[in-house]
Each structure stands twice: as structure tokens, then as C-alpha cells.
């Protein structure tokens, strides 16, 4: 029988994807997932993230996640064999990419999967990228929102997200999911570890990040689209969660 083809110990690729609903992604290698244009939505372990070009997800081999695409996106993905690099520190980490990490990802895309082994230079580039990203994973991004466990809370979260621009009312959301406001408030504390108001603010910032990554719309327009009537309040909320103003954050998307 012919021998199985030898796959490279690491490889990378860039692809364009149209908008698509959430679907499960699970691969047999450690996986660095980045968006070079647009933004991805990830969900795993009861939390959800948005990945604009400034951020990446480091996913352990065999770890299932759910990915959704709200608008067309271009991704850059790097896959590492389990024997080439150590396991990531945790199954899923979302990190803020440094300029060095982004440059290394761009360089790695020059080597797609193939049957011949990587040349020494390519091995060194993939190894350098792993070293940088594994270190970044020691300080994961804090910008995420809880996804909820119970059907009622997941429904409340979905309704809140649908109504971001309309100044959603907590009592109305509680009514629409069939719970008393006090009961829903307890669900948020128990399942999310934070209040509904705190979750709402995080949702607005994540939606704003997606807007900053997918079009050239002004910051003021994005602020209004996610429910802020005051630009200063929007800037303060955004900076509180990301450490940057919206304009500064958008600038990090540039190579």
C-alpha cells in the first residue's frame, strides 16, 4: 500500500468568506485564526468574541468553537502540528495581536499545506510566530460577552443584541422571555457574573468593533448605531473595555 502523504508540520492560508450563520469549527491541529479584513464572531465556553484584524483566536487541536460571519471577511489562518509546538495554555484564547505577530502571520501565509516538509527558513518563521502568540496568550483580551447557559438567558441576550440601537428596556426583555425582572436579573448574575446593564455595554462595544472593522463609517455614526446618543459616553465606554478610543482601536487594524 502507498504510504500516507506527509503533511507539513505547520502551514497557513488566506481565504475570503461571504456572510454566513454560525457553524461549528474543529480541527486536528492547534489553530491561530485571524481576520485580515472584516470581523469574525466566535462563541465557545459560554462566551462570545468579535475578531477584527487587530485580534486573533488561538484554538487548541480538537477544541470545537462556533464561528459566524456577519459581513464578508478575509481570514488568515495558521495551523500547527501537535508535535511542532506545545499545546496552548488554555483551549481557547483571544489575544490582541502585536505588529510583530501580524507581520509573522503575513509571512507564514507564503507556505500553504503541501506534502514536502517546510524549508528551514519557514520553520523558523512558524516557530517565531508560535513563540510570540503563546506569550500573548498569557494576557488574553477581556473584551467578550457571556453567551448564557439556559434557554431563557440566551433568549434575553439575543433580544438585547437585536435592540441595541433602540435603548432596550430590561423589563420588556424579561416580559418577552417569560420571566419576572427579578428572576431574569438573578439569571444574569448567576450565569454571566454581571448585571444586564454591564452585558449591554459590552455588547455595544463588540458591535462597534465589528462596525469599525467592516466599513469606513464614522465613529459618530457607529456610536448612534449601537445605541449611544452621546459620543463622549461612547468613547468612555469603549476605552474602559479596550484601553483605546474607537479611533485608536481602528488604527490598530492597519498592517
Both 122 and 157 in a single domain? no
Cell of residue 43, nine digits: 462563541
Both 108 and 207 in a single domain? no
What is the DSSP secondary structure assignment for residue 88, as one 8-state letter? Answer: P
Both 130 and 163 in a single domain? no
Q: Is residue 2 assigned to a domain?
A: no
**pLDDT tens digits for range 9-66:** 999 999 999 999 999 999 999 999 999 899 999 999 888 999 998 899 999 999 999 9
Q: Is residue 53 assigned to a domain?
A: yes
Does 149 have pLDDT greater than 90? no
Q: Is residue 153 assigned to a domain?
A: yes
Last residue of a domain, one of 136, 169, 194: 136
Segment holding 232, helix H or strand E: helix 231-242
Both 96 and 191 in a single domain? no
At 1 the pLDDT is 34
Last residue of a domain, one of 95, 117, 136: 136
Taking the model in full, what pTM does it have?
Answer: 0.85
Both 30 and 109 in a single domain? yes
Calculate Rg over the CA atoms of the chain: 20
Q: Is residue 223 assigned to a domain?
A: yes
User: Which residues form the domain of 57?
Assistant: 10-136
User: Quick one: pLDDT band at residue 142, thresholds 50, 70, 90?
Assistant: confident
Percentage above 70 pLDDT, the chain: 97
Does 71 have pLDDT greater than 80? yes
Residues 99-115 have a mean pLDDT of 94
Residue 55's beta-bridge partner residues? 96
Most confident of 72-86, 132-146, 213-227, 241-255: 72-86
Last residue of a domain, one of 136, 169, 196: 136
Both 67 and 115 in a single domain? yes
Give how far Cα 216 sits from Cα of 29, 157, 158, 234, Å: 35, 28, 26, 18
Residues 136-146 have a mean pLDDT of 89
- The DSSP result for 174-193, as a single string, is HHHHT--HHHHHHHIIIIIS
Both 57 and 160 in a single domain? no
Report the domain count for the chain: 2
Query: Which CATH number belongs to the domain containing residue 56 in this structure?
Result: 2.60.120.810
Does 78 have pLDDT greater than 70? yes
Residues 170-192 have a mean pLDDT of 95
Q: Is residue 3 assigned to a domain?
A: no
For residue 9, how many other CB atoms are within 10 A of its CB?
19
Both 183 and 240 in a single domain? yes
Query: Which CATH number belongs to the domain containing residue 229 in this structure?
Result: 1.10.10.60
CA nearest neighbour of 40 among 69, 76, 77, 72: 69
At 151 the pLDDT is 93
Both 131 and 17 in a single domain? yes
Amino acid at each position: 500500500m502507498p504510504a500516507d502523504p506527509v503533511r507539513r508540520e505547520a502551514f497557513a492560508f488566506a481565504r475570503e468568506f461571504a456572510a454566513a450563520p454560525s457553524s461549528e469549527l474543529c480541527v486536528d491541529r492547534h489553530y491561530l485564526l485571524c481576520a485580515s479584513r472584516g470581523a469574525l464572531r466566535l462563541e465557545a465556553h459560554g462566551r462570545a468574541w468579535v475578531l477584527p484584524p487587530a485580534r486573533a483566536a488561538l484554538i487548541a487541536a480538537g477544541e470545537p468553537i462556533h464561528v459566524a460571519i456577519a459581513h464578508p471577511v478575509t481570514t488568515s489562518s495558521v495551523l500547527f502540528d501537535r508535535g511542532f509546538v506545545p499545546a496552548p495554555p488554555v483551549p481557547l484564547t483571544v489575544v490582541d495581536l502585536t505588529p510583530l505577530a501580524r507581520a509573522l502571520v503575513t509571512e507564514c501565509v507564503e507556505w500553504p499545506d503541501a506534502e514536502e516538509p517546510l524549508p528551514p527558513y519557514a520553520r523558523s518563521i512558524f516557530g517565531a510566530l508560535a513563540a510570540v502568540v503563546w506569550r500573548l496568550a498569557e494576557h488574553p483580551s477581556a473584551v467578550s460577552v457571556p453567551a448564557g447557559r439556559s434557554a431563557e438567558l440566551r433568549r434575553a441576550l439575543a433580544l438585547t443584541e437585536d435592540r441595541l440601537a433602540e435603548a432596550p428596556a430590561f423589563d420588556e426583555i424579561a416580559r418577552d422571555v417569560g420571566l419576572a425582572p427579578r428572576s431574569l436579573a438573578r439569571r444574569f448574575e448567576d450565569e454571566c457574573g454581571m448585571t444586564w446593564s454591564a452585558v449591554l455595554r459590552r455588547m455595544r462595544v463588540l458591535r462597534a468593533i465589528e462596525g469599525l472593522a467592516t466599513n469606513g463609517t464614522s465613529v459618530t455614526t457607529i456610536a448612534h448605531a449601537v445605541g449611544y446618543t452621546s459620543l463622549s459616553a461612547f468613547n468612555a465606554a469603549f476605552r474602559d473595555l479596550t484601553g483605546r478610543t474607537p479611533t485608536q482601536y481602528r488604527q490598530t487594524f492597519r498592517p
